[in-house]
Structure 1
Amino acid sequence: MAPLFTSALANWGDAPALLFPDRDPITYRELADRVSRKSSTFGPGKMLVAVEAAQSEHAVIGYLAALQAGHAVVMIPPDDRAQGAIIDEAFAPDISVCQRSGRWEMTGSLRGPGEAGIPPHPDLALLLMTSGSTGRAKAVRLSHQNLDGNAASIAQYLGLTPSDRSCMVLPLHYCYGLSVLNSHICAGASLYFPKIPISDPRFCERLELAGCTNFSGVPYSYELLESIDFRNKLPASLRFMTVAGGRLSPDIICRYNRLMRENGGAFFAMYGQTEATARLAYVPPDQLDGNEDRIGIAIPGGALTLEDEEGRSILSPWQPGELVYRGPNVMMGYASARRDLAHGRELDCLKTGDLAELDDQGLFRICGRLKRISKIAGLRISHDAMEEALEKHGIRAAVVGDDKAIHAYCAGPAEELAVNRILAAASRLTLLQVGATSRAKLPRLSSGKIDYGRLTAQFTAKNRESDNRQETVQEVFAQLFYPARVGPRDSFLSLGGDSLRFVQLSIALERILGEAPPNWEKLSVSELARRVKRTETAPKLEASLLIRALAILFVVVQHETLWPIPGGSAAMVLLVGFGLARFQWQAVTEFDIVRLFRSALPIVIPYYLIVAGYVVAWGEVPWASVVMAGNFGFADPERRTMLPYLYWFIEAYCQMLLLFAGFFALPPVRKMAAWSPFSAGLVLLGVALLARLIIPDLWQIGNRQIFTLPWMLYLAAIGFLAAFADTTAKRRLLMAAGTAVFCFFAFYESVWIGTRVKYLLQIPVLALLLFLPRLSVPRAVKALVLPVSTAGFHIYLFHRFMPELLLLPFSGKIPAPVFSMLSIVGGVVLGVIAWWTQKQVLSFLSKHRDLPLGRRLLHFAGTDSHRRFLPNGFAWRR
């Protein structure tokens, strides 16, 4: 069997087929004759013929002759001995058509496959090495039907006729170059081989003299065209131009599309893969304007679909999935050894490995490459998207990376720190996780594509060297606070550090110093640099984490036993203010409601799941809880208009987020906060205390006033001030004021002993935050505290499910102390399990970001706490 276009050469008669500078054209009649004579020299049986893919008539004739004789062809890059050796070792070609000492020769067995040669499958026509395959063999097996189908399809949508002539600048061992050859021969069109590079000043002149009607190139070809001012030297004969073989900048596509339309021509932006013989999609020229970043529609005879990770079809527009192609040009399969050539067709579709989405015009758009993705801190970073982000700033770069960092290799001069800043902004990573290197030019494969394999190897080697080099404190500060100039006297606080930088610097300092020292955010760079790396004798634990764990345990125990230890919820409110100041200060001062409530999603989601559970159980919707206003006193659980009072804290927490942001959105307060956050916090505390003393008397809702913001806001204000008490004087002032306030309320409203316990317990809580923020604890204690602290909100939400639902059948059947103990321990365990389950769900969603829901939910995984924090005061920094 042979491709149809090889047996129809003579049909085009004396029409020119191949043209070379300074010699007569080779007509189709002459080409048919020479191919026929060459074909007859091959021996019997199916063989593998290696053809040196030079831009020469001998290479074209050898290729067509081997196909016409029914053999399989493997194209060998010219002047690439390494690739030739790989092909020889893996596939053992029976015959070679190549140049030796300037002469073209055919060597090997002319009597059929050698003794060790396994005959290729009858359908096999062409073997092409995949892009960038170096060091090991990996080839695409293409059939006669693949070649015929793709050639005919391309000729159809390009509208090729015998009067067309292509300028052949693409290498013939590259599938795109061969497809240009095949499609033109299929249509009886001609091909001109200029024999000089595009960058040669004579290129435009030769193109014009040859009467070329079309030009096909890869993105790098267009970069070279720009370098010779091609758009101002456009040959009048040029009818259309095409690009494939990689992503061309939308700006350049727009320029050439406009240029061709203005000159009565057309520009075809195309997409293809070797595995689909060459091309599988294109943008119709009349739809290209405004759609320069699309790959378009399937070529005639083919079909494109999108599939999710489970293989289900995606039909909705703008929903990303893997691009899947079906058509007659889908390869037979891969081959890595001679024995693989005997296999028949193994695929009925091509999973491209590209992420794409379908727009509302029916055009496909590539979003990224599945394998060109780094997963860093829960984020999926597309290397292609990073290249696009740099391109928008006029920087041509190739981005590579792993699951720790990404790196941009820039073509030409580029300010590396500026590149890092762009990468960090586009990826939502920090400057510690991005890097850049300027190079005179990027390494490329013989096809003109960027050699990502070589760059990845260089990146890996560079990382290995980095791992062996000790970073300095100055370096990590400079990276994270760029473009600010960091001096030895600067500190985290003086530089305006935020929670994202706090986490990153904590990790870096522990790596450099062995342990981040107490209050390191207040120490200067030089003071930190003088610290000697030492082995940690006892693990350190932040006091806020211990407070949180004890507070939630107090809540669980008090709810079950009614013992007079109700100070847990008050401590949790205090920690809310502490966390808002420490990690959400920027969002608060900018009145960034979206960012604030995005940070609350980890508790809002399970809260609404509980609301949904009550809706199902009651058959009614507790609207007050749905709108988070149940603590306002107008609803009642007995009327099923709100959830049980237990959940007041979640409502109050969300209301506090809004109130803090609203307060600091006031211009005078914002101005004061910019001058001194501690002073602004004192104003907030004064307002909150007035509200605590006055509003409950004006707003008569009985005992339910303890669930309202006026009753508790001053606690959050004190926590807020604790985060900004950065001097001894401020800490002493706040400790004195806090002690006075707590003692006042402990005795002013002392209706029972629990009230005194509640307020007096806040005194040691505040003292720990101010004067002992980090504690040395046994490892066993830290191991117990961390999960309880981390799951604090979830324990609060779910702990009553244990006695009131799961253990209810055993009520009265087991001793009361045992029942209470099981309720307390089981409630804590249930909350930890709920937190762990939510964590796993979010981890799953982070791996399925292509789904819109996953994409939305992942926003809260990218909060300022950098996915290491639960929201605000309830954060656990691992």
Structure 2
Amino acid sequence: MLERFRAYGSRPAVLVPDRVVGYAELADAVAATADRLGPVRRLVAITARNDLATLTGYLGALAGGHAVLPLTPGADSTELLDRHAPDVLLDGTEPDQRRAGTRHRLHPELTLLLSTSGSTGAPKLVRLSATNLTTNAAAIAEYLAIGPDDRAITSLPFAYCYGLSVVHSHLFTGAGLIVTDRSVTDEQFWTQFERHGGTSLAGVPYTFELLERTGFAERALPRLRYLTQAGGRMEPQRVRRFAQLGADRGWQLFVMYGATEATARMAYLPPELAARRPESIGRPIPGGEFRLDPVDEQPDDTGGRDDPSAEAGTVGELVYRGPNVMLGYATGPADLAAGATVHELRTGDIARRDPDGLYQVIGRRNRLAKLFGLRIDLQRVESALAAAGIPAICVDDGAGMLLVAVTGSDSRAERVVTESTGLPATAVRLLRLDALPRLPNGKPDLHRVRALGAQPAADVVAAPVTGAATTVAAIRTAYAEVLQLPLDRVGEQASFVGLGGDSLTYVAMSVRLERLLHRLPGGWHTMTVAELAASAQSRTRRGIGATVETSVALRAAAIVLVVSAHAGLFQWWGGAHVLLAVAGYNFARFRLTGRPRTQRIGQLARTTAWIAGPTIAWVAVIMVVGGVLGEHYYGWSNLLLTQKLLGPHDSPTAGHLWFVEVLVWILIGAGTLLAIPAVDRWQRRRPFAVAATVLLAGLAVRFGPFGTGPGATYSLLAFWFFALGWAAAAATDLPRRLLVTAGLVVGLLGYFDSVGRGLLVGIGIAGLIWLPNLRCPALLATSVGAVAEASLFVYLVHWQVYPLFGDHRGFAVAASLLAGVACTRAVTEIRRAARQRAGGRRNSPATHTEQISEQSYTIERA
């Protein structure tokens, strides 16, 4: 390995957001890790995150001749660790030495252990040799024609055989790996893919479903050469759509078939056949071969997939032979000393060989249920439900019942099952769940469905759960309450952004999650509920403090400064300009998602309305009762949010609402700009370039003849602060952060009439650029969250509240803050009550289908 890497020299090997690691540099880092692990051959367990440290640690363990056991981050690996007792735990490149030597007898060929629980839920490891890894990597590289110029992004977990096969096949040929742990629904995923010239993307069926839903077809990816799909059967119609899309855009789709027991791949469908033969798994990979062994049990109704007149030997159980077939299974430490106990792989799939030599899987032996004298193909039942828009998992409960787990309350589910199977309704039990249970690799968790089926019907949804499941339930409840959604819309694979969360609900959500998880991971708003729960389970609470995101802390601090300055408590000006930058930062994070253009614009319009609406309502109230409040009244230009545009500029309240007016018109302008298809495509391809261009335009205006004139600092000409926040959110690496910081410094030079104001604004925005979060006492974090969440209403009402307290300035500030918080709570309760009333009227099947579709928007990790 090391010699191969060094032979590739400075060729890019690993590309991460802030650096590019050449093969020679990677070889040195791998060798250093191997040295740290020592010369004694041992069993090394590694927490397999998708990052450079994990990759270096994994390769270092292989280079040192050790047997490696990757573990899924956040998953409960206690049973695996207790059962196999690894000698070393590796998290990154630093080994945790459990013992000096080893307690294991490791077979000389044993190289890698991959977990596969199958449908029983019992932990079981697949034993793989170096020959398995290298021959499968070479075969994959051959049929995909992977070369030195290829760069694949790590869209699948390293602990999953499919994800590792991408690593092995590309490093084997000297190609590059774009390493990321982000999902395809995260715009930063595509930023990294395009910046580093990605040429391929691997996905499981659900990945492709999400690609369709998040505007993939609209992306211009000039270097993309192919997509690969494995990890389960993808619907033929979706295969056709992607094959046609690839033909139109100049890339190819490879549909593949494999198993952990075969290292990764056993078959592939040549891309030129994908549109014509979307149901086929194709032909064996180079060096492998199939045969079909007769089987007695086949589905009674194959739905036309089998030809009764087919020749003998063209239908049977699919058996694979090749150098990538595993050594065997390991259920305990004693098995690690065994050599090859398996020489061919009985897949358990029932397949057909077509006259052109292609193979098609038509069923599965262990997914055939014998009920009421009928042999039922459970996969076919799931496909029938999926065609009706009802996601489902089907299992035989072993006691004469067919268990069908579904989401939502679609009344057609039972009818679809009975019609597709011929079973009476009394033989079918529907389990209506909030989310379909899945294994960490994204496949259906059949064991969990059987366990739920064993419970009384009334206890299924509210079944007692512990550990990560408890956290999942708490997070789902928090999302439903804060976003005011029905609980069944918040599945385990939902994310804050995917559920339509925005800057208005972000603060409340972050505070709730901080209480639940004790420490929020970076980028939590794009993580799924399951991933958030796993992140909480993978660490213990440390210290008594809490984590507050910098953007949240800045919102709270800035609004306190604004109110204090106006009330005369102290004169620290500049808070509103910091708030403009925070608004731009949140705009980039919550509105520039991977959703289609029309959905983006719709969400931005709703966010704008929730800023403009309360402002207009408050102004209207004050106009009506203005006589009671003395000089604190507004005019029609305030009501229409046009005072900064139309005047009168000498009004005593001319500066009261400037921040809200400017922000609303900036958002309208940004929405109009992004509604242009070409701009939308450009922003998706080059998010930082677009943000930087807007910032440069803002700076050009700022240094123009009107940029610092009278009133310019408090007008639309100050939109460059919004652009600074936008660029800060898009700056994902060191060079870009430095560029944004330079823009901040240049823009502030001489901008304000006070050095102190410029310094305060500069420090605040610099924190937005460089500090993702802050630690503070838990009680303070709660207060910060409450004030930040109420910042809009505090800004609106403080003009009328603080004059009531005369010279009691401290009380004036406190009362303004409390009034804003009270208004926020009241509006939240009104919205919740309105949604509950509306929810009671929405019970049509179409609405439930829409909810299921929305729930499954976010990425389910492969």
Q: Normalising by structure 1, what TM-score?
A: 0.49
Q: Normalising by structure 2, what TM-score?
A: 0.50
- Which structure ranks higher in relative contact order (CA pairs < 8 Å, sequence separation ≥ 6)? 2
Q: Which has the larger radius of gyration?
A: 1
